[in-house]
Copies of this chain bind each other. A is one copy, B any other.
Amino acid sequence: MINIVLLGAGNVASHLITTFLNSNEVNLIQVYNRTIENIEHLTEKTAITSDLSRLKEADIYIIAIPDNHITQLESQLTLKNKLVVHTSGAVAMEALKSNSNTGVFYPLQSFSKNKEVNFKTIPLCIETKQREDLTLLTTLAKAISDSVYSINSEQRKSIHLAAVFVNNFVNHLYQIGNEICDKNNVPFEILAPLIQETAKKIATLAPIDAQTGPAKRNDTDTIDKHLRMLPNNQQEIYALLTKNIYKTHGKKL
């Protein structure tokens, strides 16, 4: 049984708390949050505190708070020989400076507060400063997920960057699609099966092989028609992505 103290009450923290409380291999012994009101609903399930000097003894301390507060919070911890990890995709392990045993426990998923998640399928990217801590962190990761990767800070930075493209930017393209539909009185739901199919395809086909459309086949008639239908900002995005698709596939032909 691994004993955990979790620090934080945001999206990632909440989902980890629920998952740990449901696990037979993990013992969530305490949750810390600066504002005690945000964790008071947990009082019957685990110990809570808003006082960093009253943290309990545990095997791993997980800091799941906004990126820009991680270093400062960690600098206030005075733990000896305890493993302290953060959960951020964008923050280097070296941001944890005050404790000798540090690491990262990064769940690669986009969390919404009210949407339940199944950690079993969420990739966990783990890293530790001390070699011997990797076993402990791996055990914790495998207790909640079937998909555990040993990833160093450089790699993690690149994953976070790639995630911006395939999640944040993709969602923005969905939004542009939605705007185009709204403007023409077409229900956006009509695009839902295409969106799902596009996402599913990558399971069996590399994106470079799945590419279709006017940009790839350099269908300038269609491209020109499309550009004329768009407002300036969307025109700019259409033109740039089209150029890049054509270049990518032009080179390959």
Check A193–B161 contact: CB distance below 8 A.
Answer: no
Interface residues of A in 56-91 (CB under 8 A from B): 67, 90
Check B174–A166 contact: CB distance below 8 A.
Answer: yes
- List the B side residues contacting A211 at CB < 8 Å: 168, 171-172, 175
Check A169–B241 contact: CB distance below 8 A.
Answer: yes
Contact of A180 among B67, B121, B158 (CB under 8 A): B158
Check A198–B199 contact: CB distance below 8 A.
Answer: yes
Interface centre among A155, A176, A237, A248 (most CB of B within 10 A): A176
Interface residues of A, count at CB 8 A: 86
- List the B side residues contacting A158 at CB < 8 Å: 180-181, 183-184, 186, 229
- List the B side residues contacting A244 at CB < 8 Å: 172, 233, 237
Interface residues of A in 36-56 (CB under 8 A from B): none
- Decide yes or no whether A164 CB sits under 8 A from chain B: yes
How far in angstroms is the closest Cβ of chain B from A135?
Answer: 21
Determine the residue in chain B with the shortest Cβ distance to A68.
Answer: B221
How far in angstroms is the closest Cβ of chain B from A96?
Answer: 18
- Bound state CA distance, A248 and B170, in angstroms? 15
Determine the residue in chain B with the shortest Cβ distance to A233.
Answer: B244
- Bound state CA distance, A204 and B112, in angstroms? 12
How far in angstroms is the closest Cβ of chain B from A16?
Answer: 16
- Decide yes or no whether A208 CB sits under 8 A from chain B: yes
Interface centre among A67, A108, A184, A204 (most CB of B within 10 A): A184
- Decide yes or no whether A215 CB sits under 8 A from chain B: yes
- Bound state CA distance, A237 and B230, in angstroms? 18
Q: A194-B108, A212-B110, A236-B240 are in contact. Are A173 and B163 (CB under 8 A)?
A: no
Q: A184-B155, A186-B155, A237-B244 are in contact. Are A207 and B174 (CB under 8 A)?
A: yes
Check A155–B185 contact: CB distance below 8 A.
Answer: yes
23 A-B pairs within 8 Å (CB atoms) are namely A90-B225, A108-B193, A110-B201, A112-B201, A112-B205, A147-B190, A155-B185, A158-B180, A159-B181, A159-B186, A159-B190, A162-B180, A162-B181, A164-B214, A164-B226, A166-B194, A170-B174, A172-B211, A172-B244, A188-B206, A233-B244, A237-B241, A237-B244
Minimum-distance CB pairs A-B, first 8: A168-B213, A199-B199, A175-B207, A158-B184, A174-B207, A162-B177, A162-B180, A166-B177
